[in-house]
């Protein structure tokens, strides 16, 4: 098994004097505390208990997207204007001409449009949610929490909700 870069972790017999069960790993330290002992139900095989050691890794996204908000469209236009080409080209060289133009546009895009790491949707906030609006929402939440505890009137909560709604509408418009 060493030829295939696998390690057998069961070293004790699991049925009488025979070693019948396999527990293979490809990496040292991935599995630990291997113990053979005790029967499960009416079986004459011994159970194998072990711990899987390792850290849970959060998957990090390596996906990049183009950030058109920071793009330099003036640079993009000048780079594309420099591409030589015949308009309305016909004949057998048309496909090669189109392929050349497409490659040049993609090169210009790489220079003029920066890329950024793609984030999950939970990390984003609304574009209209500025600091003032965020503070107002927080204030509304606190007023409603105080009302639920019985320390404020329902009118206070409704007023805070109405004011927040108006500010959100103004911010979105």
Helix axes 154-172, 131-148, angle to 10 degrees: 160
Mean pLDDT to the nearest integer, 63-79: 89
Mean pLDDT to the nearest integer, 83-90: 67
Q: Specify the pLDDT at position 114.
A: 92
Q: What share of the chain is helix, strand, coil (3-state, %, to 5)?
A: 45, 15, 40
| DSSP notation for 54-116 | -PPPPPPP--EEE-GGG--HHHHHHHHHT----TT--STTHHHHHHHHHHHHHHHHHHHS-EE
Percentage of residues in the chain having pLDDT higher than 70: 82
Under a CB-based contact definition with an 8 Å cutoff, are residues 82 and 137 in contact?
A: no
Stronger pLDDT, 21 or 64, i.e. the higher one:
64
Q: What is the pLDDT of residues 13-42, one digit of tens each?
A: 777 777 767 777 777 777 878 887 777 777
Distance CA 36, CA 14 (A): 7
Task: Read off the pLDDT band of 69 (50, 70, 90).
Answer: confident
Distance CA 26, CA 104 (A): 46
Under a CB-based contact definition with an 8 Å cutoff, are residues 8 and 33 in contact?
A: no
Stronger pLDDT, 96 or 77, i.e. the higher one:
77
Calculate the average pLDDT of the chain: 80
The model carries a pTM of 0.36
Under a CB-based contact definition with an 8 Å cutoff, are residues 125 and 105 in contact?
A: no
Q: Specify the pLDDT at position 124.
A: 58
Which range (56-60, 97-101, 112-116, 163-167) has the least confidence? 56-60
Residues 6 or more apart from 119 whose CB is under 8 A from it? 61
In three-state secondary structure terms, 51 is strand
Would you say residue 75 has pLDDT above 90? yes
Q: What is the pLDDT of residues 100-126, one digit of tens each?
A: 889 999 999 999 999 887 766 555 566
Q: What is the pLDDT of residues 128-155, one digit of tens each?
A: 677 888 888 889 999 988 888 888 889 9
């Amino acid at each position: 098994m060493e030829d295939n870069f696998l390690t057998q972790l069961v070293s004790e017999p699991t049925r009488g004097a025979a070693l019948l069960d396999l527990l293979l790993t490809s990496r040292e330290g991935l599995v630990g505390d291997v113990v053979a002992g005790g029967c499960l139900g009416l079986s004459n095989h011994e159970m194998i208990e072990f711990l899987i050691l390792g850290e849970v890794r959060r998957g990090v996204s390596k996906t990049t997207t183009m950030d058109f908000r920071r793009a330099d469209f003036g640079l993009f236009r000048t780079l594309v204007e420099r591409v030589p080409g015949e308009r309305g080209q016909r004949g057998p060289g048309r496909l090669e001409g189109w392929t050349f133009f497409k490659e040049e546009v993609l090169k210009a895009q790489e220079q003029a449009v920066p890329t950024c790491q793609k984030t999950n949707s939970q990390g984003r906030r609304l574009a209209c949610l500025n600091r003032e609006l965020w503070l107002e929402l927080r204030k509304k939440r606190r007023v409603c929490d105080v009302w639920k505890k019985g320390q404020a009137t329902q009118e206070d909560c409704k007023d805070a909700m109405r004011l927040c709604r108006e500010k959100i509408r103004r911010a979105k418009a």
